[in-house]
Structure 1
Amino acid sequence: MEVRWDIFLIILGSALVTFLPRVLPLMVLSRMELPDWGIRWLNYVPISVMAALVGQELLLHDGQLAPLFTNLELMAAIPTFLVAIMTRSLLGTVVAGMISIMILRYFL
């Protein structure tokens, strides 16, 4: 089997670009003592990223703001959110979301 060096270098570069942004902050921050406000701030990063991803999926369709009265995903998110709050179960939340969207797509 012949090795194509251009493809090999692309794969190696892609691995480096993926690896460095994840490892360098860990290496730098593991040697530093972060202040309490910095640690509290970092605790909100995963929640913020998830809210941005979910919000975009719920409110936009094809880059346009979806009408609220025809937005099935937003309607399915309401009972899913309630199940998430009441049960605090990831499995229960996912199942509730799947069932909600299935029912709404079947009837509407």
Structure 2
Amino acid sequence: MSTTYLIVMIVGMALATLISRVPPLVLATKLKPGRKVQRWLKQVPPAVMAALVAPAIFAPDGQIWISYHNADLMVGTATLIVAIATKNFYATIAFGVCAMAFVNLVLN
């Protein structure tokens, strides 16, 4: 493939992305969703995070594995406890990363 072809493709895809994302964003800034919609939208980030994290914790090798030998599950549980206790996003992330690093260093 030529360099010109690649540049045209990249610019074309950037324009397609821009055209498909800007109009809804402009419309969304002018509309004020109702209370029910706002309450529902507040639940989207935790639901997405749970959908991303749960398979890694409960099925680290592709099969569901609920056991105290499952290091991912143990670290995830401890991190959940820290999240509930502190209600601090950064403290939770820092604890989870440090706990997982510690477990990987000790167990591997």
| Alignment RMSD (CA, Å) | 2.4
- Unaligned segments of structure 2, at least 5 residues: none
* Residue correspondences, number: 105
Structure 1 92/35 Cα, relative in aligned 2: closer, same or farther at 3 Å? closer
Structure-2 residue corresponding to 1:29: 28
* 1:10-49 matches, cutoff 5 A: 10-49=9-48
Whose relative contact order is higher, 1 or 2, with alpha carbons under 8 Å and at least 6 apart? Answer: 1
Partner SS for 2:26: helix
Rounded to whole Å, the distance in 2 between the matches of 1:22 and 1:52 is: 24
Could you tell me which runs of 5 or more consecutive residues in structure 1 were left unpaired when the two chains were aligned: none
Contact 2:58–2:73 (Cα < 8 Å) also in 1: yes
Question: What's the TM-score once normalised by structure 1's chain length?
Answer: 0.75
Percent identical pairs in the alignment equals: 30
- Looking at structure 2, the residues matched to 53 and 18 of structure 1 have their Cα atoms a distance apart, in angstroms, of 24
Letter paired with 2:88: S
Normalising by structure 2, what TM-score? 0.75
